[in-house]
Amino acid sequence: MSHSNDLEDIVRTVIDCGYHLLCDLGPGLLEGASELILSNLVERRGFAVRRQVPIQIKNDGGFVDNAFKIDLIVEGKLLIELKSTERNSPVYAKQVLSYLHLMDLPLGVLMNFGQPIFKGGLQRVANNYFGPVQS
């Protein structure tokens, strides 16, 4: 399968897969299950996906391994953080932004599969990323 490696194409594919996951299985799917299924759906669209990616933190001249784990990274460019809660919390987007900063990645998508409407649990989080330039 041929596909573009453009970050916005990756984002569209991941969001489309997340939307179909929620439509097919309904809200409330646990994070572990949504991670496995979403990973599989995105891989079937031809994109490389890494699951449970450890983050190393440099602090005061030393390193802390496995301080956090990122749910999914697609094509080494897009961070996906999954939740399954009835309410969105502002801390979730802050968590994604911290991960983006630590991993030096431009863009993350927060997906909360606990929301009854997909759009209500979806949020883009940018780390010095302004999207495609329109000419």
Range of the domain at 98: 7-126
Backbone phi, psi, residue 82, to 5°: -110, 140
Number of domains forming the structure of the chain: 1
Q: What is the average per-residue pLDDT within 92-107?
A: 89
Q: What is the average per-residue pLDDT within 1-23?
A: 84
Query: Per the domain annotation, does 99 fall within a domain?
Result: yes
Identify residue 76 by its one-letter amino acid code.
Answer: G
Tens of pLDDT, residue by residue over 43-64, are 999 999 999 998 877 777 777 7
> Could you give the percent of the chain with pLDDT greater than 70?
90
Query: Per the domain annotation, does 21 fall within a domain?
Result: yes
- Residues ≥6 apart with Cβ < 8 Å to 118: 18, 19, 22, 23
**Max Cα-Cα span within the chain:** 48
Query: Per the domain annotation, does 2 fall within a domain?
Result: no
**Global confidence as pTM:** 0.83
Provide the CATH number for the domain around residue 100. 3.40.1350
Query: Per the domain annotation, does 1 fall within a domain?
Result: no
Query: Per the domain annotation, does 135 fall within a domain?
Result: no
Q: Is the pLDDT of residue 18 over 90?
A: yes
Query: Per the domain annotation, does 131 fall within a domain?
Result: no
Query: Per the domain annotation, does 132 fall within a domain?
Result: no
